Amino acid sequence: MLSKIRQIIRGNALPQPTVPAGQRVYAIGDIHGRLDLFEELVGLIEADDAARGAGCSSSETTIVLLGDLIDRGPDSAGVLDAAIALCARRPVRLIAGNHEEMLLTAFERREVLRSFITYGGRETLLSYGLDRDGYNEATLDELQALLPSLIPERHLAFMRAMENQVRIGDYLFVHAGIRPGVDLELQRLSDLRWIRREFLEDKRDHGVMVIHGHTIADAVDERANRIGIDTGAYASGVLTAVGLEGTARWYLNTLGDGGLE
């Protein structure tokens, strides 16, 4: 059953950005290791896509994953496998989030590994079969030495190949946001993956409608110049997607389970 999520709508009258004719797009917010919710939401998307039917085939429908597939939730390894499988059967665009960045960088930099495990990376390592006792007993150096044997190359290559921003029609899909006033081609990776306040509080027209995750809200955060769809899935059980076709925009989401213990 499809469900509708509350929206936070602030600002002036919303513009009418469009997706090119004959295309339909679904963007999914931060999954954070919740394989159960990812599979459920993909099922909702595929049912919705089939029901809308006319004008688009599955080959003309694109799913955009906004990054942070991993960390915090219990099955990051399973989420990456599911995302790889999804890419094999339909068009998918993948955007790198700050958590993918941290994991890839942790192989080389101990201080980043420390941050990675502090902000949900522990759960990612456990999802690859590292037992809790082994994790608790390992030093930071020992954990870093284990990474190549824990995380398969197919997952690392998949994350390395993720994009930084995706433009479709009048929509720009990024993980965190953009630096206001800077040309889209000149945006820094640190902003695309990490920015918060400077982007979230800016009310100017960016020339595109920015769809992003990264910053959790308890509902879709729809403004005149951006739409945030990170609804804190790992804790709330609510994973959200926005659907786009022509000038139409709609939302799908899992129903929520109160989060994980």
User: Token pair of 139, please?
Assistant: 């030093």
| Beta strand 248-253 pairing with 7-9 | unpaired
Q: Contact at 8 Å (CB) between 216 and 23?
A: no
pLDDT at 7: 53
Please identify which residue in the block is written with the tokens 């960390």: 71
- The amino acid that residue 233 corresponds to is A
In CATH terms, the superfamily for domain 7-93+162-253 is Metallo-dependent phosphatases (3.60.21.10)
User: Token pair of 200, please?
Assistant: 């979230």
Please identify which residue in the block is written with the tokens 């080389």: 108
Closest CA to 230 of 243, 247, 245, 242: 242
pLDDT at 186: 98
pLDDT at 257: 75
pLDDT at 55: 61
Closest CA to 97 of 230, 236, 255: 230
Closest CA to 227 of 5, 49, 39: 5
pLDDT beneath 70: ranges in the chain: 1-15, 54-59, 258-261
Q: What angle do CA 164, 58, 34 make, to 5 degrees?
A: 55
pLDDT at 60: 87
